[in-house]
Amino acid sequence: MPLMNSQYEAILRTYANRQAKNRRELEERLAGIQKQIPALASLEASLVSLQAEKVRSAIADNRERKCSLENEISLLQNEKKRLLEAEGYTLKDLEPSFTCPDCQDTGFIGTEKCHCFLQAEIDLLYHQSHLKEILKQENFRTFSYTWYEGADRETMKRHVMDARFFIEAFDTSFQNLLLLGEVGTGKTFLSNCIAKELMDSGHSVVYLTAFQLFQLLSRAVFGDHHGQEAGQQAYPYLFDCDLLIIDDLGTELPNSFTISQFFLCINERILRRKSTLISSNLDMEALKNTYSERTLSRIISSYTIRQLPGSDIRIRKKLQSST
């Protein structure tokens, strides 16, 4: 899951190219504006001179002169705004434009990776795993109620509506989802619908099967040097991504390690107020018996739990296609 150095450097090059493009566009835009508004150059020079004098007066603690300069600067700024608006421009046209205003296309906010950098890493990983191709096939536009009948169809419609509410409130309300149901009832499909909507709106989403999750955590603890390093590099993805999807919980081989790591993972994300979506074929009793009452209690208190109706859709699709 963690990126290789060459992949990491490729993302950094993308940001460097983006910054260079921003600079070129700004220079071209400023040249065009100054050509259209010749008086703007001398006005800008006056503003720079006054700003410098204002700093000197502040250092000298000359409050009267500082106040006078602030008034002059305000008048010139209003004049600049007037000149620009007369030609159809705004003050923002004099500033660089960014793909990500939060980090100004550097990829970092201070020393921390920006959410857009994390998304770029995840997008690269998704591209390698072909998950984006899956999401083109499994999304709300391709979701069908054909395979649910009667009361099951109505129940599924409510669950889809809940999923849409989950997405709409994602940025304003901390939520977690637990989808339960028999094999083939649409848990993974619905998870993919949610994943695609959030990814399309710029959120970082990490999808792992339970087997992949525990294999990754196992390498971080028990692997050789390279395995431990790779596993530990995955922690930011697991704990800090906007949404972590753990699919097919219960299909892995449970033991004391997986039980403790599962609690660690969901508890850490709850503490960080990062949303998690879990799907499982197990019922609540089986979850308690497998992962401990403490873990189940944490889920019950922090997750919205939905039981998907119906039987194995994949078998019915297969049977229909063969007739």
| Same domain as 287, residue 150 | yes
How many distinct helices (H) and strands (E) make up the chain? Answer: 14, 7
* Cα–Cα nearest to 179, from 4, 27, 299: 299
Tell me the residue type at 134.
I
How does residue 239 score in pLDDT terms, banded at 50, 70 and 90?
Answer: confident
How does residue 315 score in pLDDT terms, banded at 50, 70 and 90?
Answer: low
Domain for residue 178, yes or no? yes
Look up residue 95 and give its two tokens. 């500033």
Domain for residue 160, yes or no? yes
Which one of 31, 66, 94 terminates a domain? 94
Q: How many independent structural domains does the chain possess? A: 2
**Average pLDDT of 150-179?**
94
Look up residue 62 and give its two tokens. 């000359």
How does residue 303 score in pLDDT terms, banded at 50, 70 and 90?
Answer: very high
Tell me the residue type at 262.
F
Residue 251 and residue 257: Cα distance in Å, rounded?
A: 15
| Same domain as 231, residue 185 | yes
* Cα–Cα nearest to 18, from 103, 128, 131: 103
Domain carrying residue 290: 130-322
| Same domain as 57, residue 11 | yes
DSSP 249: E
| Same domain as 243, residue 168 | yes
How does residue 275 score in pLDDT terms, banded at 50, 70 and 90?
Answer: very high
- pLDDT for the residue 1: 46
Which one of 75, 94, 113 terminates a domain? 94
Percentage of the chain lying above the pLDDT 70 cut: 88
Answer yes or no: is pLDDT of 313 > 80: no
E-strand ranges in the chain read 108-109, 112-113, 177-180, 205-209, 243-249, 275-280, 304-307
| Same domain as 160, residue 32 | no
CB 305 within 8 A of CB 180: yes
Q: How far is CA 248 from the centre of its chain?
A: 22
Report yes or no on whether pTM surpasses 0.85. no
Region class of 267: left (phi > 0), else alpha (psi between -120 and 50), else beta? alpha
What is Dmax (Cα atoms) for the chain?
91
Q: How many CB atoms neighbour CB 255 within 10 A?
A: 10
- pLDDT for the residue 161: 95
Tell me the residue type at 276.
T
| Same domain as 272, residue 162 | yes
| Same domain as 301, residue 214 | yes
